[in-house]
Each structure stands twice: as structure tokens, then as C-alpha cells.
A and B are shown apart, each in its own frame.
Chain A
């Protein structure tokens, strides 16, 4: 016996609804038009496409081996650490500001007239990239790490505020009701009924934000707002690729170290000491980057 050929077995596939098909083709067309329009106006010739990988490879190869001369290494390492300090202080500033604001923006802990302005404030702040904020602040606060710290702190208020608000809204409101029934006022209900529930999640968000901010602060140096970025720009401008390699190496090492240790602490905060999968596992999965806004 031979297997039936395709002609023998009439495969009947389910048809898609017409409106859905139209939508699909419409979206595809928009994407293709957008891509062609972008590609043609962006001055990317076939010639450049052909030579680019070789040029990039040449530069990347020149960064290896990195310059490991003692003085330079300690200078670069100091700069990378400065980026970490910027990220940490910026995250702390944002945490302190966003925590009360998040309670003022959440559905279940704030009156309605207060929620909307606070939420819009978070959205507005989030739309300003850190570097744009730093460009605005630079003439006021001057060159240096403080400008970068402020910019990162401000921007993070937006994201942390949004995430914390969502965490507060997803709690079990029972304990807070109990506190109110026992005669507590709104503030006491939040303190004893809500805060203990959300604090682990929110602290985990802070840590997650810190990881992102380490990368953001590394870039701050590009405009002179502190950290390791200025070093990379200088070395690349003077075409000292082995030194640029050192900068990249230490950036990678420190970022990796912070990412892994912070992720371990986060896991411990959310899942607790035990190995049992709690209801918070889902929150933990969100933290690992699956929810959209958390990553920015």
C-alpha cells in the first residue's frame, strides 16, 4: 500500500472571514509601504549594505584584545561604577516619589478625581526619554553625574508609578476592608491592609528598574551627564579601539553581574525562600520582561 498523495486526500482548510482577510492584507500593505518608503529615503545603497558587515567586523576585531594597562583599567572601572551609582540613586529617588503617587493613582485606594491626573502624569513623564531630560537639565545642573541621576530619577517615576499602580490594583482588598471595618481610616487601611501585600512586588519592580537604569546611565556619558559613556565616545573618536574594547568589556561584566544578582534577589522576594510555586509566580513572569511597559 502506498500513502495517498495530496490529490487523493482533499484537504479542506477552514476559511478565514472576509473582513479579517481584508484587515490582514491591509496591515501587510501598510507595513510594506512603510518599509519601502523608509528604505528608499534613508540613503542606504546596495553598495553600502554589501561593505558594511566587513567594516563592522574590522572594528569589532580591533577591540580584541582590550587594553589592560593598570591605570586605564582602574579609570574605566571607576567610570562604570559611577554609572552604577547614578542608576542606584536615580532609582531610589524615583522609588521614593513614585510610591505615594502610585497609591494616589490606583483605583482602589484613591478617589476618582485624583486618579486621572496622576495616571496622565505617569504617561507624560514616561514619554520623555532619559537622555532628552538630561539634555534639558544639562544647562541648569551642569556637566556631571548629578544631571544624569536627576534625569534617570525623573523618567523612572513614570514607569515605576505605572507598574506600582497596577500592582496595587491587583490586590485582594479584603484586609483593607477589615482594617476599615475595625475603625481604621483610609490611610491606616492602606498601611495595614494594602502595603504589606504589594511591597514585595513593588520592591521587585524597583530592582528591575535598577537593572534597566544601569544601561540607561551608561549611555548618559554621551552628552556628558556622567558615567562610562563619555569614555567610550572618546576612545572611539580617537580611534583607540583596544581602549574602547576595555570600556565595552567592563560595561558587559558589570551589567551581567548586576542583572544576575538582581534577578536572584527579585526571585527570592517574589517567590520567598521556599520552592513552592505561589500565586505570585505570574507576577514574577511579568517581571522578567513579558509585560510591555516594564521594559522601558
Chain B
């Protein structure tokens, strides 16, 4: 055995593996994304100086200190109304979502027409933002909490059916087949074969939708659909920044607390 010949490990030149070449469209996509970002930035008035000056704007002083006396005297009742809207909308929206979700799932849908029909309608409804619905309802039936509730019902329904129908899709088909084989009617089979499996998810989603609704209901008043947003809108128009700040802090505390509670319950459920 010779020891002088042949390269030793230490002598060898290290050759890193070569990077695979980028596909031809890689740079085209990158360039397009950058170009679109720059163009959009111009269109929305993006400016770094404005970003830099933001914290030092003298107007911020008008926000502080918050006018707490006024806030507690005037914002509490609308805030309660806000939560009533959220509660009612969550409840009605989620109840309506139950049958619609089963119609929208391949597993439990009775026939192709209900499947595609409900899916198309729900997708269409979901493309319109919640505040647009609220504004439409305000126009149709007048200013107030009723319009806001209806708006949020539509919103809850559209979110809930999406989440829940996808859960039903993923459910185990075995029990349903067994129930149908045993001679159950369609609805009865779904009730004993699918519902028990997905019910915990349903409750968890309902809580999640409730969290969404709490946040959404806060701004309903900006279009006249009731709740605490109405107070916010009025003070905004009179440039009462200290009151706005008070309301916003109050909202933050309440929304944050409710959210944490709901998240804790949801974690226990699933």
C-alpha cells in the first residue's frame, strides 16, 4: 500500500454542488412582481418621508389624554348594542349555515343541482365585503342596528358555510354509508352518520365567527348600521380626537378580552 500517492481528504479542492439554473420565467415573474409593486406604490402615494414623519406629527397630541368621562357616559350603551348585534348575527348566521353547509358538501349533498347551486351563490355572496352588505341594508330598510344585524348575518353565513362544508368534505364517509345501508332516509343518515363527527368543529367555528363578528360589528356604525361605530363616526366628523382615542382604547380592551376568552374555549373544544 502506498501512502504517497492519491489525494488525501485535506488536499482536495472543495467543489460546492452547482446550483440548478433558474427557469426562464423566474426573472420574468420577479420583474413583473417588482414592477407591479412599484407602480402600485406610486398609485397609493407611498412615501418613506411620510412614514418617517408619522410618529412625530404634532396632531398626535390632540389624541391625548383621552376624554374618559365622556367616553364612559356615551360609548357604553352603543358598545352593548354592538355586542348584541354580534351575538344575534352569529346565532342566526350559524343556524342558517348548518343546512346550507350540508348542501354544499360533496359528501352529503343530495344532488348536483343543490351542490353547485348553493356553492355558486355562496361564493358570490362572499365576494361582497360585509360593510357593503350593511350599507345596502341600511339603504333598503333604514339606519339602525337591524340593518347591521342583517349585514353580519350574511357575513357569518358566508364564512361559516365555507369553513364547515370543507370540514364535512373531509369527514369519514363510513358511518353515512352504514346508515344509508341500514335503510335510513337521507336526512336521518346525515344526522346520525356525519353530524356527530363534525359537530365539535361546528361549535369551534361558530365561536370563531363570533370573534370575527365582534370585530366587524365595531365598524358597522361607520355606514349607519348601528353600534359603537356610530359614536365613532360622529366624533370623527367633529374632530374630537381625544374622544376617538378613548373609544378606540375601550374597544381594544373589550375586543381583546373577548377574543382571548373565545380562543381559550375553542382550544378546549377541538
Report the minimal beta-carbon distance from A266 to chain B, rounded to whole angstroms: 14
- Asked if B22 is an interface residue, CB under 8 A from chain A, the answer is no
Q: With A52-B150, A56-B140, A144-B45 in contact, is A233–B219 under 8 Å at CB?
A: no
- Asked if B70 is an interface residue, CB under 8 A from chain A, the answer is no
Contacts of B255 in A (CB 8 A): 127
- Give the total number of A-B pairs whose CB atoms are below 8 A apart: 186
Which residue of the partner chain, among A139, A223, A288, contacts B59 with CB atoms under 8 Å? A139
User: Is there an interface contact between B132 and A31, defined as CB atoms closer than 8 Å?
Assistant: no
Complex: how many Å from CA A295 to CA B209? 10
Report the minimal beta-carbon distance from A29 to chain B, rounded to whole angstroms: 14
User: Is there an interface contact between B84 and A252, defined as CB atoms closer than 8 Å?
Assistant: no
Q: With A88-B40, A140-B59 in contact, is A131–B252 under 8 Å at CB?
A: no
Complex: how many Å from CA A129 to CA B228? 13
Q: With A42-B149, A146-B50 in contact, is A85–B40 under 8 Å at CB?
A: yes
Complex: how many Å from CA A60 to CA B231? 29
Contacts of B219 in A (CB 8 A): 129, 131-132
- Asked if B81 is an interface residue, CB under 8 A from chain A, the answer is yes
Contacts of A58 in B (CB 8 A): 140
- Asked if B266 is an interface residue, CB under 8 A from chain A, the answer is yes
User: Is there an interface contact between A146 and B44, defined as CB atoms closer than 8 Å?
Assistant: yes
Complex: how many Å from CA A33 to CA B139? 31
- Asked if A256 is an interface residue, CB under 8 A from chain B, the answer is yes
Which residue of the partner chain, among A42, A85, A219, contacts B146 with CB atoms under 8 Å? A42
Which residue of the partner chain, among B84, B135, B212, B239, contacts A42 with CB atoms under 8 Å? B84
Contacts of A292 in B (CB 8 A): 204, 208, 211, 266
- Asked if B171 is an interface residue, CB under 8 A from chain A, the answer is no
Contact pattern, A 108-140, Cβ under 8 Å of B = 1, otherwise 0: 000000000000000110011101100110111
- Asked if B88 is an interface residue, CB under 8 A from chain A, the answer is yes
User: Is there an interface contact between A136 and B248, defined as CB atoms closer than 8 Å?
Assistant: yes
> Which residue from chain B places its CB closest to the CB of A253 in the assembled complex?
B127
Contact pattern, A 60-93, Cβ under 8 Å of B = 1, otherwise 0: 1000000000000000000001101110110010
Contacts of B44 in A (CB 8 A): 82, 85-86, 89, 145-146, 148-149, 226
User: Is there an interface contact between A140 and B127, defined as CB atoms closer than 8 Å?
Assistant: no
Report the minimal beta-carbon distance from A111 to chain B, rounded to whole angstroms: 25
Which residue of the partner chain, among B47, B59, B216, contacts A129 with CB atoms under 8 Å? B216
User: Is there an interface contact between A236 and B40, defined as CB atoms closer than 8 Å?
Assistant: no
Contacts of B91 in A (CB 8 A): 31, 34-35
Contact pattern, B 111-148, Cβ under 8 Å of A = 1, otherwise 0: 00000000000011001111110011101110011100
Q: With A42-B85, A44-B146 in contact, is A135–B244 under 8 Å at CB?
A: yes
- Residues of A in contact (CB 8 Å), total 70
Interfacial residues of chain A within 241-296, with CB under 8 A of chain B in the complex = 248, 251-252, 255-256, 259, 285, 288-290, 292, 295-296
User: Is there an interface contact between B81 and A85, defined as CB atoms closer than 8 Å?
Assistant: no
- Asked if B99 is an interface residue, CB under 8 A from chain A, the answer is no
> Which residue from chain B places its CB closest to the CB of A31 in the assembled complex?
B91
User: Is there an interface contact between A41 and B163, defined as CB atoms closer than 8 Å?
Assistant: no
Complex: how many Å from CA A239 to CA B80? 31
Q: With A35-B91, A132-B219 in contact, is A252–B135 under 8 Å at CB?
A: no
> Which residue from chain B places its CB closest to the CB of A260 in the assembled complex?
B123
- Asked if A48 is an interface residue, CB under 8 A from chain B, the answer is yes
Complex: how many Å from CA A81 to CA B40? 9
User: Is there an interface contact between A295 and B159, defined as CB atoms closer than 8 Å?
Assistant: yes
> Which residue from chain B places its CB closest to the CB of A292 in the assembled complex?
B208
> Which residue from chain A places its CB closest to the CB of B63 in the assembled complex?
A136
- Asked if A101 is an interface residue, CB under 8 A from chain B, the answer is no
- Asked if B3 is an interface residue, CB under 8 A from chain A, the answer is no
Q: With A43-B146, A219-B132 in contact, is A35–B59 under 8 Å at CB?
A: no
> Which residue from chain B places its CB closest to the CB of A51 in the assembled complex?
B141
Interfacial residues of chain A within 19-39, with CB under 8 A of chain B in the complex = 31, 34-35, 37-39
Complex: how many Å from CA A179 to CA B60? 47
Contacts of B72 in A (CB 8 A): none
User: Is there an interface contact between A123 and B256, defined as CB atoms closer than 8 Å?
Assistant: yes
User: Is there an interface contact between A138 and B236, defined as CB atoms closer than 8 Å?
Assistant: yes
Complex: how many Å from CA A259 to CA B127? 9
CB pairs A–B below 8 angstroms (15 shown): A34-B87, A35-B91, A38-B83, A42-B145, A86-B44, A89-B46, A127-B252, A129-B216, A144-B45, A149-B45, A149-B46, A215-B127, A222-B222, A248-B128, A289-B166
